[in-house]
Amino acid sequence: MATMAAHSWAGRVLARATALLYGVGGAVTGLLAANASGTDPARAATLGTIAVGALVLGSLLASAGTRLPAPAMSLALFMAALVLAAGTFITDEPTVAVATSSLTALVVIDAVVFFTPAVAWTHVGLATGLQAVALTLGPGVPTLVTAGLVLSWCGIAVAIGLLARQASSARVDSLTGLLNRRGWDTALDEAIERAQRRGEDLSVALIDVDHFKAVNDLHGHAEGDALLATIAATWRAHVDESVVLARRGGDEFAALMPGRDVYQALEQAEAMRRVSAAPVSCGVGQHVPGEPAGHLLRRTDAALYAAKAAGRGRTVASANPDVGLVRDLADAIEHGQIHVALQPVVELDTGYSRGIEALARWHHPTLGDIEPDQFIPIAEDGGLITALGAAVLRQACADAHALSRTWDREMILGVNVSGRELVSPGYAEELLRVLEEVRWPPERLVLEVTESLVDASSTEAGDALARLRSAGIAIAIDDFGTGWSSLSRLDELPVDWLKLDRSFLTSLTTSARRRAIVRALIRLCDELGILVLAEGVESREQEDLLRGLGCRFAQGHLYGAASLLVDLPAPPTLRADQPPGP
């Protein structure tokens, strides 16, 4: 059963239920006061005072109960039982007293649903005992009737307690005692609704145990389960009651943090990471007003995988996105409004187009064209990058099929992939499924990894690239020469193509040192069996130099800007004896 210390959602419902109890008790006592006003003004005044006090306390609990600690809520429930017993005691008619005492059933239900068994049965004992004394010493209800009432209240407590345990087990993880995915998702929905209504901060954290599979493989699942239980117990002892902890499945945990902004949540997640019984990686996200729960979780999940890709054992916070743009981008993806522009890839020795690169394009209905360097970060931070990548791949393959028929040749299709996509679970299998769905041969796809993203060096990314390469897909390092450029990357990643960033070409015609660097790099790639493609070629002079340096492929405005399929010009006719390229 959920305890107050573990789950703030239970505290919220407890506050509402207890407030309702006070309200009902106050209303009933008020009716008794009205009934006694004509015959016994003194008793009516006493009952009226009790009724007003109960209604006031009920209102206070309804508004502030969620901020009260568990002992305060326990005291409030005891006071409710005491008020009901007092109302019974001062009632002069036995039948009315029995009716008043029946509200004790609400007290015992409140106790067994929301408190631990020991505390709950203490409340049941106190509430029924007080009523038994009040019924016997007040209006003189027969002993057997009183005993029957006490027995019925205890029976209600047992039955409701069993039902409550059965119901709560559907929301609680049996291994750790934390909320499970279902329970935590419900708590998240409620927290978002409350935060938006009150204008309060709300943050969440998603936490994965690093290399947990290795623990199961080396020591067995029993040892892995024991580790998860230890981690949960440690966190439970180190967080306050406002933090709602959950095990969402496997080695994935979550923390819901009402009232905390992203910086406070980051501090809390870091504290949990430091005391964890095993190394963990954390992603943190703050809810943005108007943002659905799914968007918040996708953003936070993206931050988690960024933490894992950056080396694990750390906490990464998601930047708060423009919720409107995230929603617009999600709608554009869902309704097929993401398009691709195609740019020819030319073989320098022949001048023929050997393939195309597909580049994502988004035309916003009110903002106009939004550049990829603007909407791709929105997709990453908004947790939409996987859906965006799949949409671009489908559209690119469809356009490439049409272009193959128009140009009457087979061609290589290059598609960019975000580092966030590479580290997402099941990425390789999903990409291969899409290729099968759109009937594009894997051996005619080049997957371009943005070299400047550190995510690309993670274990998950390397495994995904190796899986795709084994299926026949070629791998290209895009924008080589910027950001995290390193020759060791050519050895770390399964690479078939290397795309020289346009920055290499800016001084190629004027710098002998730059030409020497490019020549050496091309020779190294030749030795490694890697094809080199120069990006951003804009002049015949650059083209001639690249050809002389041994570069085989190029793309850029010299051969045509990236264009939608309908605007792409036809290339020179390929000779019948000319092979279709690598």
- The Cα-based distances of 27 to 33, 54, 99, 153, 284 in angstroms read 10, 8, 13, 21, 46
CATH number, residue 359: 3.20.20.450
Q: Which domain holds residue 557?
A: 333-567
- The Cα-based distances of 268 to 16, 256, 486 in angstroms read 28, 11, 36
Quick: pLDDT tens for 197-214. Answer: 888 999 999 999 998 888
Interatomic CA distance for residues 560 and 455, integer angstroms = 31
- One domain for residues 435 and 494: yes
Question: Looking at the predicted structure, is the pLDDT value of residue 579 above 60?
Answer: no
Quick: pLDDT tens for 480-508. Answer: 766 555 666 676 667 899 998 887 777 78
- One domain for residues 41 and 105: yes
Higher pLDDT, 117 or 16: 117
Residue 324 located in a structural domain: no
pTM over cut 0.75: no
pLDDT at 462: 77
- Residue 269 binned pLDDT confidence (cut-offs 50, 70, 90): very high
- One domain for residues 408 and 378: yes
Residue 1 located in a structural domain: no
Mean pLDDT of the chain: 82
The number of domains in the chain is 3
- One domain for residues 262 and 394: no
Q: What mean pLDDT comes out for the span 78-88?
A: 82
- One domain for residues 15 and 125: yes
- One domain for residues 141 and 57: yes
Question: Looking at the predicted structure, is the pLDDT value of residue 93 above 90?
Answer: no
Report whether 293 contacts 210 (CB < 8 A).
no
Amino acid at 223: E
- One domain for residues 189 and 44: no
- One domain for residues 291 and 339: no
Question: Looking at the predicted structure, is the pLDDT value of residue 170 above 70?
Answer: no
- One domain for residues 52 and 132: yes
Residue 123 located in a structural domain: yes
Residue 488 located in a structural domain: yes
> What's the DSSP call for residue 560?
-
Residue 573 located in a structural domain: no
- 542: its two tokens: 């650059």
Question: Looking at the predicted structure, is the pLDDT value of residue 105 above 70?
Answer: yes
Residue 409 located in a structural domain: yes
Amino acid at 307: A
- Decide which of 135, 169, 203 is a domain's last residue: 169
- 505: its two tokens: 């070409």
Between 205-209, 238-242, 386-390, 455-459, the lowest mean confidence (pLDDT) is in: 455-459
- One domain for residues 220 and 301: yes
Q: What mean pLDDT comes out for the span 519-528?
A: 89
- One domain for residues 271 and 157: no
- Decide which of 169, 197, 220 is a domain's last residue: 169
